Structure 1
Amino acid sequence: MDIKDRAPKRWLRLALPAVLIVVWLMVAGLGGPTFGKISGVSSNDQASFLPASAESTAVRDWQLKFVDTNSIPAVVLLTSTQPISDRQLGELAALAPTLGAVPGVQPPSPPATTAIAGPIPSPDKLAVEFLVPISDTGKLNTVVAALREAVAANIPARMTSYVTGPAGLTADLVGAFAGIDGVLLLVALTAVFVILLVVYRSVVLPIMVLLTAVVALCASILVIYNMASWGWIKLSGQSQGILSILVIGAATDYSLLLVARFREALHQVASSWAAMALALRGAWEPIVASGTTVIIALLCLLFSDLNSNRSLGPIATIGIFFSILAALTALPAFLVAFGRTAFWPFRPRLGPSPAGRHAASGGAGMEGGARVEAGVEAGPEAGLAGIGGLWRRVGLVISRRPRLTWVATLVLLLAASAGVLQLQANGVPQTDVILSQSDAVDGQRALGRHFDAGSGSPVVIIAGAAQQAQVLAAVEHEERVAAASIYAGPGRPVPGAAPVVRDGRVMINATLADQADSAAAEDVVLNLRASLPAVDSTVLVGGVSATALDTNVTAQRDLVKIVPLVLAVILLVLMLLLRSIVAPLVLIGSVVLSYAAAMGVSALVFNHVFGFPGADASVPLFGFVFLVALGVDYNIFLMTRVREEAREMGTRAGVLRGLGMTGSVITSAGIVLAATFAALGVIPLLFLAQLAFIVAFGVLLDTVIVRSLLVPALVYDIGRHVWWPSALGHRK
């Protein structure tokens, strides 16, 4: 019995979609509320993402032995337009107990009356600072907000106050992530809805597709929230935002492929059940293969040394898994339940589709009809029967001038790739990470005008007690070190005080003349790590500057290690899927070239249009993983259809047919994915803004140039040999 004639019993036709819909809605009901709670199990502390082997991590562990707390310092800065007198300085001293009373500030350790150091006057007498350790790091943004209120309510009207330092900057960073749960999702979903509305001119279908993406995201969030609360993974606001966009984009892409097959099948059969069976038969393999490829590429991040990169692997994998599952279960249930009404008001009618096969042209559809002999590829229009509009014109260009087409696009992409030489992905200061107004960033700049710029964020050196004097002298000899002292307890250093010794070690704090997260400060760390071992072979150098340095170095090392690994596993998957060696090599080459072109254009835009100060060291790796993995998605969508058509009409005609049948859906999917990643730009953080542009532009470049011109023209020019060594490659 033919598949179009088979249909399950009526009770099953009613019950199965209903059960699937109810199950997914229940999952959404459980996962939805976790959106508001997930920030409670995430961390944005840069140091926590370093590997245990990093020198900064070792120093951080030693610090806990000296201070017995995991507190983060805040710098309360007060500036004045007039010099601050000794009497005024004495009056400001009363502010210290007020700051110490703020909930979350580290309590004093006997015999000290407060853990706060200050007021410390600046050399120019125009500012004072208080160093306030915050012990409640889990509610850092709340504590910093309370500090800002307390300071503003208790200083003279003529003075300006800031709460900055590591605690202030981290709190403002957390605040910048606050829009992830609401604004980001709203912008992304709205953009996708508008695009789908324009593409399908239907109100019902976009809602179904978005609902599929939302239930996939809810299921993902539910699993990830529990994994993070159990301590299995490290979740950050950065990975949370990427997860949301990735799930919405991927689930929508997979849904569009299924919807295209379903609508095509509705022109061939009357029953929506039979149409779904045909759609799933044609769509499940590319959807599963595409999703599996993305999952494998993401799991390669588990080999990263940087914990933030490594944790994104399983987080994003969970999102892709539920995207596949929802696209193959939830969406079919919605479509079967609504049938042709899903496309209202333009319901597909039974009969030849606008791009269907015409028997008169010699084509053969899934429903049968005249069949073209394999190897018959006469004429430039072979394979374009029934295909009109843009994709017919593109197909004719490729069939008439295949070599000129792929050479021209290759030259264009190589020219764009040259811009990658201007990419400055060596890390940026934390004060440049936040793109919106930030009290901490403003305070850090003011701090640099009145104090040593590294005040409040010292370089921390752990040295042997026996060599403390020599190490201290060597540290003070470093040109950009403004001051250095051996830790003798909480509060300001007291001359002559006995140093605190732990396990035969002392801790030296070195205040830099440069901002703690600047490139100049990282150079000081490198110099100290190079020179101090000659004095003490056991010395360790850490602190905020060292953490930034170690993060950048680790991220760059990850790029070199993970890129070849991702390419190797994707190549293997493509070989298994396409049963070929030549075609996968062509496809891998195309996505690498597309990535290089996207990064080249992005570097030029970042430097000369947006004026960004540089890029995070992880930007090239994240851009690579997403562009290559998602670019391969579209390769799979195209080439699985080309292979299917090539079995019937030969490779060259199959290329044109496959391009014509998938061109619209791949273009729509690319636009949707670009729009969803572009939504990351609403979060005012440099890393996410840059990733948004790279992926959005890269996906559009891949969709419009690579997948529409370069790959089809190159495969057309190679002909049947592209399938070597499979049997399809030997057909005459």
Structure 2
Amino acid sequence: MIAISRFIAAARTSWIVLVAGIAATAALFVVAGYQSADSAPPVGLPDSAESIQAANLQEQFRDDDSTSGILVFGRESGELSADDVAAITVRAGELGDIALDGFVPPTTVSEDGTTALVAVPLEIEERVSVQAERADEIRSIAADGLPDGIEVWFTGAEGFLVDISAVFEGANFVLLGVTALVVAVLLIITYRSPILWIVPLGVVGVADVIAGIAARLVADAAGITLDGSVTGILSVLVFGAGTNYALLLIARYRDELRLHADRREAMAIALRGAGPAIIASGSTVALALATLLFGELSGNRSLGLAGAVGIVVAMAYALLVLPAALVVFGRWLFWPLVPRYGTPDTISRSPWGRLGRSVSTRPVIVAIAGFAVLAAFASGLTTLTVGLSQNDRFIVKPEAVLGQERLAEAFSAGSTAPAAVIVPAADAAEVSDGLAEVDGVVEVRPGPSDDDIAQLDIVLDADPESQEAFAIVSDVRLALDDLGDGSGLVGGIDAEGLDLRDAQQRDQNLVIPLILVLVLAVLIVLLRSLLAPVLLLLAVVASFFSAVGIGSILFETVFGFPGVDTNVLLFSFLFLVALGVDYSIFLVTRAQEEVPRLGTSEGMVRALAATGGVITSAGVLLAAVFAVLGVLPLITLTQVGVIVCIGVLIDTLLVRTVIVPAMTFIAKDRFWWPRRPELTDAEAAARGANGQAERMPDDVVDAAPPASREAVASL
């Protein structure tokens, strides 16, 4: 580490590092290029899922892959007249040029006469941009020349796919712009410099672009598709983690500039001090994200792969490009608060140090009170409802949802998305009669068939992908076990939604323990201790539950959300545990540095004083960056952003500042068990009683020239 840090910071070689970084960045950009995601979020289920097996059997009934879009016509109030229906029928006929095989089925009018439905068969199209253009053309043709007062909505499978994709249209640029603005403002406030913020923001911004390219290349090699939701979260991760690493490094660099006349020597020492913490932090996050690769859902695997690659890229730019850029520009970057050599260190006057000393006087009471606060926050879990219907996933209802709600009022709620039951052809009649008796099944209609299998379309009395629809599908699957030869399969949107929910639960049950084991392993290796990692992990997990509890209350009372989406808990746990433990890593690794000079208790006070400001700034910045996810009108991302934002603030302002120090003061030297600290609290106290270096004011010790400081520290 010493040789590497000197190579990055040295006068002759820092330019080499910087130029090499720029050249590598430009080469990768030119060769691979930047491409925005042009694919919708995939279903992501494995081939073993029942709904996927049913869909594969359905392929026997058609030569071409197809989907459908549903056009819904109606007036704000009142029935449709005969002229209205005639005009709608004309519009439906003109859609033949777009429809698959040039055929559009006849218009269907509801029994109450208020709503007309036109199903448009369409060829499956993978590219989001083409889907959006086709949907706009369908809307234009359907609305052209309609009588005044008639509204038209495009919904169904294709309508929802287009509207979900529209959420992510330009999402990378929106997220990037808002995130960059938030980061710039917070960096200016943190550094109180009109210049310094440009360097870390520029480095992290380039890292974000390269992370997107690298993630796409790795995903293509692994046969994984990255959609707009993944690339959007990737930008948030890279900006959040990258700026955190930059804040930690720059804060340590600023401290060392007061102790060293040579800025390059200061950077080399800062890298040696902050580098291990950044590497441990980045490794923790990357490994935690990589656990998603063990999941069943392809969406989880794509996020895990892209996120892990992005964190590695952010860490590399923070440890290689950023320090080289900082030393090239020199001290004046900090203007007007330039850290001059020999000026008093501000650490000894830090309010965080005073807070740590106050905690040390009554650590047991403080620890109990801290965990009591977390428990009170977590009480909101009692109101938590998991699961959202298809109609409930948007903050602002798009056209597809409005159309679906209109259909639910005029037809059966599940009429536009019937479940497809695949059974042996010989059992079709028996199965049809049996399924008609299942509660929640409104209608059973015969579908296509061949000599071997037959399809039965069943209309459910529930909104698509709602918990009620899932319950009915479960009952249908249970009934099929006793009908015919028991081999019937249920497919369709509701069956896919149920399989997704179950697969997400299985992924959650697998990934969460893996994350805990990996984070614990990284902490054990980093701290060379067993007790300290367990205590740190306990605290960060407690903060996760408290964040979800607060989030649940906010979602119900402030946002008015009907529930929490199924993948929110897994993603929130992943980001909070992996990113939240970073702050404890930054604190405890600094304490490790101070223990040989001050002992465990005083070392923790000193570490809190040294890292309090920068970690608080990093936590607020990371919380703000995740809150940016709320700019997208999708409830899932908003919920992840809110929970992670709350959890990071709890980790930053309560866990790291109060609970972790309190646990350290309680455990004292046992905190490092089974390792014995180089200087125990008892030895530190004895030295202090004899008037040795540890009793000297911190600002006197740290403001001294390096040689003098080393001499004093060696006493």
Q: 1:82 Cα shift?
A: 4.4
| 1:329 counterpart letter in structure 2 | L
Tell me what 2:471 maps to: 523
Distance 1:88-1:590 versus aligned 2 partners, 3 A rule: closer
Report the Cα offset of residue 31 of structure 1: 9.0
What is aligned with 1:380?
Answer: none
Partner of 2:41 in structure 1? Answer: 44
Counterpart CA distance in 1 for 2:257 and 2:678 is 33
For residue 514 of structure 1, report the CA deviation from its aligned partner: 2.1
1:132 maps to a residue whose letter is V
For residues 14 and 627 of structure 2, the distance between their equivalents in structure 1, rounded to whole angstroms, comes to: 40
Report the alpha carbon displacement of residue 433 of structure 1 after superposing the two structures with TM.
0.8
Q: 1:342 to 1:87 in 2, by over 3 A?
A: closer
Aligned length: 674
Q: Give SS of 1:728's match.
A: coil
Amino acid at match of 2:117: E
Q: 1:534 aligns with which of 482, 492, 502?
A: 482
Conservation of the 8 A alpha-carbon contact between 2:40 and 2:161: no
Q: Which residue of 1 aligns with 2:57?
A: 62
Q: Shift in Å at residue 473 of structure 1?
A: 1.4
Given that 1:487 and 1:507 are in contact with CA atoms closer than 8 Å, whether structure 2 keeps it comes out as yes
Task: Please identify, of 680-689 and 123-132, the stretch whose mean Cα deviation from structure 2 is larger.
Answer: 123-132
CA distance in 1, matches of 2:631, 2:666: 43
Distance 2:613 2:292 in 1: 32
CA separation in 2, counterparts of 1:176 and 1:8?
A: 42
| Residues 628-668 of structure 1 deviation map (CA, whole Å, 9 limit, x = unaligned) | 00111111111111011012211001000111111111111
Instruction: Give the match's secondary structure for 1:50.
Output: coil
**CA distance, structure 1, for counterparts of residue 204 and residue 154 of structure 2:** 41
Match of 1:716 among 648, 654, 665: 665
Q: Distance in 2 between matches of 1:14 and 1:299?
A: 32
SS at structure 1 position matched to 2:284: helix
Matched with 1:310 is: 301
- Equivalent position amino acid for 1:128 in 2: A
Q: Does 1:127 align with 2:115?
A: yes
Q: 2:375 aligns with which of 414, 417, 428?
A: 414
Is residue 513 of structure 1 aligned with residue 488 of structure 2?
Answer: no
* Partner Cα separation in structure 1 for residue 131 and residue 619 of structure 2: 39
Q: How does 1:347-386 map to 2 (within 5 A)?
A: 347-355=338-346
CA 507–580 in structure 1, closer or farther in 2 if over 3 Å, else same: same
1:44 CA displacement: 1.7
Are 1:401 and 2:401 matched, yes or no? no
Instruction: Output aligned runs, 1:253-268, within 5 Å.
Output: 253-268=244-259
How far the C-alpha of 1:30 sits from its partner, in A, is 4.0
Alpha-carbon separation, structure 2, partners of 1:272 and 1:261: 12
Aligned positions of 1:227-376 closer than 5 A: 227-229=218-220, 232-355=223-346
Q: Which amino acid aligns with 2:355?
A: V
TM-superposition CA deviations, 1:428-470 (whole Å, max 9, x none): 0121111124111111111111111212211011100110111
SS of residue paired to 2:69 = strand
Report how far residue 203 of structure 1 moved.
2.2
Q: Which residue of 1 aligns with 2:571?
A: 622
Q: 1:443 aligns with which of 403, 428, 447?
A: 403
Contact 1:73 1:132 in 2 (8 A): yes
Question: 1:482, CA displacement in angstroms?
Answer: 2.5
Matched, 1:137 2:125: yes
Tell me whether 1:652 sits opposite 2:601 in the alignment: yes
In the alignment, the residues of structure 1 paired with residue 167 and residue 608 of structure 2 have an alpha-carbon distance, to the nearest angstrom, of 42
2:708 alignment counterpart: none
1:707 partnered with 2:649:
no
1:138-185 Cα offsets, whole Å, 9 max, x none, are: 222221121111111142223111111121111111111124122111
For the pair 1:459 / 2:419, whether they are aligned, the reply is yes
Judge conservation of contact 1:17–1:337 (CA < 8 Å) in 2: no
Letter in 2 for 1:246: L
What amino acid sits opposite 1:157 in the alignment?
D
Matched, 1:117 2:105: yes
Deviation at 1:678, TM superposition (A): 0.5
Kindly report which structure 2 residues correspond to 1:85-104, keeping only aligned pairs within 5 A, or say none: 85=81, 88-102=84-98
Runs (4+) of structure 1 exceeding 6 A deviation are 5-11
Q: 2:101 aligns with which of 101, 107, 112?
A: 107
Question: Secondary structure of 1:94's match?
Answer: helix
Query: Does structure 2 conserve the Cα–Cα contact (< 8 Å) formed by 1:31 and 1:221?
Result: no
In the alignment, residue 537 of structure 2 is paired with which amino acid? Answer: I
Any idea what the Cα deviations from partners look like across 1:544-589, whole Å, max 9, x if unmatched? 0111111112112222222112111111111111011110111011
Q: Deviation per CA, 1:311-332: give whole Å up to 9, x if none.
A: 2111100000001100011101
Letter in 1 for 2:185: V
For 1:416, the aligned partner's letter is F
Between the aligned partners of 1:181 and 1:330, the Cα distance in structure 2 is: 24
Instruction: Classify 1:23/1:579 alpha carbon distance in 2 versus 1 (closer, same or farther; 3 Å).
Output: same
Of 644-653 and 227-236, more deviation after overlay is shown by: 227-236
Assess if the C-alpha contact under 8 Å between 1:481 and 1:513 holds in 2: yes
* Alignment pair present for 1:189 and 2:185: no
Distance of aligned partners of 1:308 and 1:285 in 2 relative to their CA distance in 1, 3 Å threshold: same
1:682 maps to 2:627: no
Aligned residue for 1:580? 529
Amino acid at match of 2:474: L
Q: What is the CA distance between 1:127 and its match in structure 2? A: 1.6
Shift, 1:287, TM fit? 0.6
Give the Cα separation in 1 of the matches to 2:158 and 2:214. 30
Q: Share of identical aligned residues, percent?
A: 36
Secondary structure of 1:534's counterpart equals: coil
- Distance across 1 between alignment mates of 2:193 and 2:315: 23
Residue 495 of structure 1 corresponds to: none
Q: For the residues of structure 2 that align with 1:6 and 1:189, how far apart are their CA atoms?
A: 31
1:665 and 2:614 matched? yes
For 2:83 and 2:578, the matched residues in 1 are separated by 65
- Structure 1: which 5+ residue stretches go unaligned? 109-113, 356-385, 489-499
What root-mean-square deviation, in Å, do the aligned CA atoms of Structure 1 and Structure 2 show?
2.2
CA gap of 1:38–1:229, structure 2 versus 1, over 3 A, is: farther
TM-superposed deviation, 1:242 = 1.0
Aligned partner of 1:66: which letter?
Answer: F
Which shows bigger deviation, 25-34 or 328-337? 25-34
Change (3 A) 1:591 1:7: closer
Most deviating of 297-306 and 653-662 = 297-306
Instruction: Summarize deviations over 1:8-42 as a string: whole Å, max 9, x none.
Output: 998724632441352255158549962xx3222x3
- Listed one character per residue, the Cα deviations across residues 685-709 of structure 1 (whole Å, up to 9, x for unaligned) are 0001101100011100110000000
Residue 562 of structure 1 corresponds to which residue in structure 2?
Answer: 511
Residue 581 of structure 2 corresponds to residue 632 of structure 1: yes
8 Å Cα contact 1:165-1:456 kept in structure 2: yes
Contact 1:43 1:234 in 2 (8 A): no
Q: Secondary structure at the match of 1:125?
A: coil
Whether the 8 Å contact between 2:539 and 2:660 is mirrored in structure 1 is yes
> TM-score, normalized by length of structure 2?
0.90
CA–CA separation in structure 1 for the residues paired with 2:14 and 2:584: 36
Shift of the 729–455 alpha-carbon distance from structure 1 to 2, 3 Å rule, reads: farther
TM-score by length of 1: 0.88
Deviations 1:702-725 (A, max 9, x none): 100000000011101210111111
1:16 & 1:676 partners in 2: Cα distance?
A: 32
Aligned to 1:180: 171
* Cα distance in 2 between the residues matched to 1:435 and 1:597: 24
Find the aligned partners of 2:144 and 2:580 in 1 and give their Cα distance: 55
Q: Of 476, 496, 501, which aligns to 2:450?
A: 501
Which piece of structure 1 moves more, 141-150 or 572-581? 141-150
Partner Cα distance (1:316, 1:614) in 2 = 26
Q: Report the secondary structure of 2:412's partner residue.
A: coil
Paired residue secondary structure (1:270) = coil
Gaps of 5+ in 2: 683-715
